[in-house]
A and B are shown apart, each in its own frame.
Chain A
Amino acid sequence: MKVLVVGDGSREQAIAETLARSVKEPRIYAIMRILNPGIVRVCESTGGGFRRGKPTDPVQVADYAEELNVDFVFVGPEEPLFHGVADEVERRGIGCIGAKKSLAEIEMSKAYMRRLMWKYEVPGRLRFKAFKNVEDAIAYINEYAESLAIKPARQAGGKGVKVIADLQAYLSREKKKVKAKHAVKVVKEHMRGYTDIEDRILLEERVEGPEYTLQCFCDGKTVLPTPLVQDNKHAFEDDLGPETGGMGSIAGKGLTLPFITMDEYNRSVEIVKKLVDAVQRESGEYYKGVIAGQMMLTDKWGPTIIEMYSRFGQPEGENILPLLETDMVEICEAILSQSLAKVKLKFREKATVIKCLAPRGYPDHRELAKGHPIWVDEEAIRKAGGKLFWGSVDTVDGSYVTGGSRACEIYAEADTIEEAAEIAERCIPYVKLLDGWGLFYRSDIGSRRLLEKRMRLAEMVREIYLYREKKGILGKTIDWIPGRGKIEV
């Protein structure tokens, strides 16, 4: 059996390794932009192979798949999906784990996703406005002093989102300026070159609460949820610093997190299911792949959608895939034959922690973070009880060089999140940049203190959303504007 994995990140390493564990002993192939050492190793050790290419190019991917005569393709990242890789692979008669373009739009266009939520009245929806030009967005910003999330209308590698709480009238003027400047930046920088959607910028109501990710397998008929994962987006310790793609994540043990109840878990699954229904109805296609809700527990709704992923999160995928006991190839085959309903997902009962290491300069000055030789003692990490996932690292003339994003991740599992965090912590010294350039990570991820902070926040918003539910105003915005009257949205 042969499987082609598309993508070159830590997530794809986890996917490749999980596939390789299958009793069917598949040979793993990969198409990568940069040669991720972890993926290269899986390919080599399973008797497969790899190619340096463009994972976002449907023809390149499909050609390679055809050439190899693979049993199916597994697409890791979102951009290949947005470019129609799944469509092309399937057109050539090869099975593909990964949403087709029209379905992946649920992630690609944040405006589309929000419109779907309102059209199909999916719980956990937020008020939003999408703009096709920056002038209109700025006019709106100037008119209303609101707490806002300002987002590129398209998924832009997780970049360009700015959330501004605007609660102190005396600082509002200052914040308006920042909002407007950021809106310009979104359109000019983050949305530059993206011509595949019309909307440019999204203004969304700002909500507050603990975030979590719910990742699911989906065959178009059945949605199979996996354990919740919580990612930490702030670059630096104590939840300070700029937003990153995630500096580390925690999960377990079991299906939910210490600050999310089973009821909230179930509600979250329902939301994702409703969205799958909605997007399938719109596109007329079956959703075959991975879908994830990047969610937040808010006082407005309880479980609320912040963004949708048409793939595993990164690093969130790496928390759960190592624990998967069900045969991954079997899951993929069930997705392709739309018999996922018969599959029972089993995960080992462990808590997991991932800590990412990023070169200095990440996230906002990646040119500085790029091009540094990196050294890892994987054996020592293994001995300390952890495991390494390679991230943004390329293989150049046999040595490893950073690519500008998070270079690698330490994974650890144990009976509790704190124990897993301690194991991960012990592995950190075994990763170094050889030119002396700085490498940073967050020692607080998985700590009791941070966990308690999330629990306090969750309790606060839980009390409010449950009260709202009791009052029959869950998810509603009820406002009173003097002179205009009561306004309900």
Chain B
Amino acid sequence: MSGLIGIFAFDELWSIARFIYYGLMGLQHRGQESAGITTVKDGRFYTRVCKGLVEEAFKEDALKGLPGHIGCGGVSMDPAVSQPIVIEDRGKSLALTFSGGLLEGDLKDFGLALLRELSKSDPEQAALTVMERFKGGYSFLALTNDGHIVAGRDPMGVKPLCVGGLGFDLAVFASESSALDVVGADLSREVEPGEVMSVEMFSIKRASTGYSRRAYCSFEYVYYARPDSIMNGIHVYEVRRRIGLLLAKENPVEADVVIGVPETAIPFAMAYSQATGIPVEMGFMRTGRSVRTAIKPTQFERLVGVQLKLNPVRAAVKGKRVVLIDDSVVRGTTLRNTVYLLRKRGAKEVHVRIGSPAIVARCPYGTAVPPEDELIGRALKPDEIAQVIGADSFSYLSVDGLTEAIGLPKDSLCLGCFTGEYPI
């Protein structure tokens, strides 16, 4: 998974790197392994890509080495793929940022194909041609060394992409509207499934492949997206609240307190509390900075992350029947650790509620789901999971519940990781 941003200033007075830098911070939740920025000036690329969080990757001086009024950037959770990827061919170059997955080929193939098409036809036509050839679920932004930004979203719209503006000066593309908010841009609209847009000094053009069906990634609503983002016309925060309401309805339990696993599950817990009347408490304190544990690449890092992130507050849980709400379960190992800690701090009962259905299948569109034999939800029934993690009860949100919470028709969603059925 990754987050991408591209900014085009129509006035050459702007120096854009700092805007991209803060925009990337607004997308940090989509990838914490590496961050990168490419800017273009006088036909030349300036690129810096580093491991780590955005703030770690870019110290003061690093931004100074990124001149120009046009640029793009990416954050990535895949340690093997740092973005932007710079591709060169026959004297032309392209910086690619990409979020999602291809069914065949890799990002380099995609970038090279795009670069070659760009030398043959208009940017938007070139992007359409490449999108037709490379099937998958993705959104991308490409910057050319002659100062074009080309943006596109696959015909199913699996991964999000939006566009906005800052006054008369900037056009901003980003994976999520949260990045637009951070740079002070106003959201104009979301790029449509199958739509490509190209921006240069004198025009913004669009074209579309058309689409057969939409398949918006449902996991974005459950976990990836920031709750202050708007995605496919839906406020992510509202989805998270509805998930909490539906969890309360689907699997009620008698309890004294509701706590949510920070930070994604907090709105679930708040809504669950409102629906049931069971008070919500701040169940955990964090040590160190906010990290997204589920997207950490190794088990060790995930566990360390969770242990640092989730120190239960004794006074909130001691002697109480606790409803513990989390967004999803992949392997169950970190959840097991959390339940154990709650018990140790005196929780009398622990009832686990998960704000999404069981993850049972891989994701062909770039979400890093471990091999299927590592998925606890595929291997074990909820009762067995309760036993394994040491909880008094365990239940998921149903697939229908999730669909209802998102509020879009079921056939416009990709629910592949929960059902094993993919749109393509």
A residues sitting closer than 8 Å to B (CB atoms) are 162-165, 167-168, 170-171, 173-174, 177-178, 181-182, 185, 233-243, 360-361, 364-365, 368, 438, 440, 449
Contacts and interface: CB of A to CB of B under 8 A. Distances in A.
Interface stretch (B134-142, B150-158, B164-172, B270-278): B164-172
Q: Say whether chain A's binding surface is mostly helix, strand, loop, or mixed.
A: mixed
Interface in B162-205: 163, 165-169, 171, 182-184, 186, 188-189, 201-204
Given A164-B167, A239-B165, A174 B10 contact: no
Nearest to B206: A237
A174 B163 contact: no
Nearest to B15: A174
A235 B203 CA distance: 8
Contacts of B46: none
A365 B203 CA distance: 12
A358 B347 CA distance: 70
Given A178-B14, A242-B11, A360-B202, A171 B165 contact: no
Contact of B18 (A174, A236, A360, A449): A174
Contacts of A236: 171, 203-204
Interface string B16-54: 001100100000000000000000000000000000000
Contacts of B201: 364-365
A322 B352 CA distance: 69
Given A165-B184, A241-B10, A440 B203 contact: yes
A165 B166 contact: yes
Contacts of B186: 239
B13 A178 contact: yes
A242 B22 contact: no
A476 B171 CA distance: 33
A240 B171 contact: yes
B22 A170 contact: yes
B59 to A, nearest CB: 15
Between B11, B15, B168, the greatest number of chain A beta carbons within 10 A of the residue's beta carbon is seen for B168
Given A163-B168, A364-B201, A438-B202, 10 more contacts: A167-B184, A171-B22, A177-B15, A181-B13, A237-B204, A238-B163, A240-B171, A242-B169, A364-B10, A440-B203
Contacts of A238: 163, 165, 188-189, 204
Contacts of A174: 14-15, 18-19
15 contacts: A162-B11, A164-B167, A167-B184, A174-B14, A174-B15, A177-B13, A182-B13, A237-B204, A238-B165, A239-B165, A239-B186, A240-B204, A242-B169, A368-B202, A440-B203
Closest 3 CB pairs of A and B: A238-B188, A236-B204, A243-B168
A168 B165 contact: no
Nearest to A360: B202
B203 A438 contact: yes
Contacts of B13: 177-178, 181-182, 185
A170 B15 CA distance: 14
A360 B163 contact: no
A241 B19 contact: no
Contacts of A365: 201-202
B188 A171 contact: no
Contacts of A360: 202-203
Interface residues of B, number: 26
Interface in B198-252: 201-204, 206
A237 to B, nearest CB: 6
Contact of B168 (A162, A237, A361): A162
B184 A240 contact: no
A307 B182 CA distance: 31
B18 A241 contact: no
Contacts of A177: 13, 15
Given A162-B169, A239-B165, A240-B165, A171 B11 contact: no
Nearest to B22: A170
Given A238-B165, A240-B163, A243-B168, A171 B203 contact: no
Given A171-B18, A185-B13, A241 B184 contact: no
A234 B10 CA distance: 11
B189 to A, nearest CB: 6
Contact of A241 (B168, B189, B206): B168
Contacts of B168: 162-163, 233-234, 241-243
Nearest to B25: A170
Contact of A168 (B10, B11, B15, B184): B184
Contacts of B22: 168, 170-171
A168 B186 CA distance: 13
A377 to B, nearest CB: 24
A177 B17 CA distance: 14
Nearest to A362: B202
A356 to B, nearest CB: 15
A235 B183 CA distance: 21
A171 to B, nearest CB: 6
A284 to B, nearest CB: 38
A178 B163 CA distance: 23
Nearest to B163: A238
A181 to B, nearest CB: 5
A158 to B, nearest CB: 12
B207 to A, nearest CB: 13
A233 B204 CA distance: 15
Contact of B167 (A165, A185, A361): A165
Contacts of B206: 237
A242 B167 CA distance: 8
A163 B167 contact: yes
B131 to A, nearest CB: 21
A449 B233 CA distance: 13
A240 B11 CA distance: 13
Nearest to A167: B184
Nearest to A180: B13
Nearest to B186: A239
A234 B165 contact: yes
Contacts of B11: 162, 178, 182, 242, 364
Contacts of B18: 171, 173-174
A394 B270 CA distance: 67
Contacts of A440: 202-203
A239 B166 contact: no
A164 B169 contact: yes
A241 B165 CA distance: 8
Nearest to B172: A240
Contacts of A167: 184
Nearest to A206: B167
A239 B204 contact: no
A167 B186 CA distance: 13
Contacts of B183: 168, 171
Contacts of B167: 162-165
A164 B169 CA distance: 8
A168 B204 CA distance: 27
Contacts of A164: 167, 169
A205 to B, nearest CB: 15
A177 to B, nearest CB: 7
A368 B201 CA distance: 12
A141 B165 CA distance: 23
Contacts of A181: 13
A399 B202 CA distance: 26
A31 B166 CA distance: 41
Contacts of B14: 174, 178
Between A163, A177, A239, the greatest number of chain B beta carbons within 10 A of the residue's beta carbon is seen for A239
Contacts of A182: 11, 13
Contacts of A241: 10, 165, 168, 171, 204
A234 B206 CA distance: 16
A173 B17 CA distance: 13
A99 B344 CA distance: 85
Interface in B72-124: none
Nearest to A161: B168
A361 B189 contact: no
Contacts of A178: 11, 13-14, 169
B161 to A, nearest CB: 13
Contact of B188 (A163, A239, A243, A364): A239
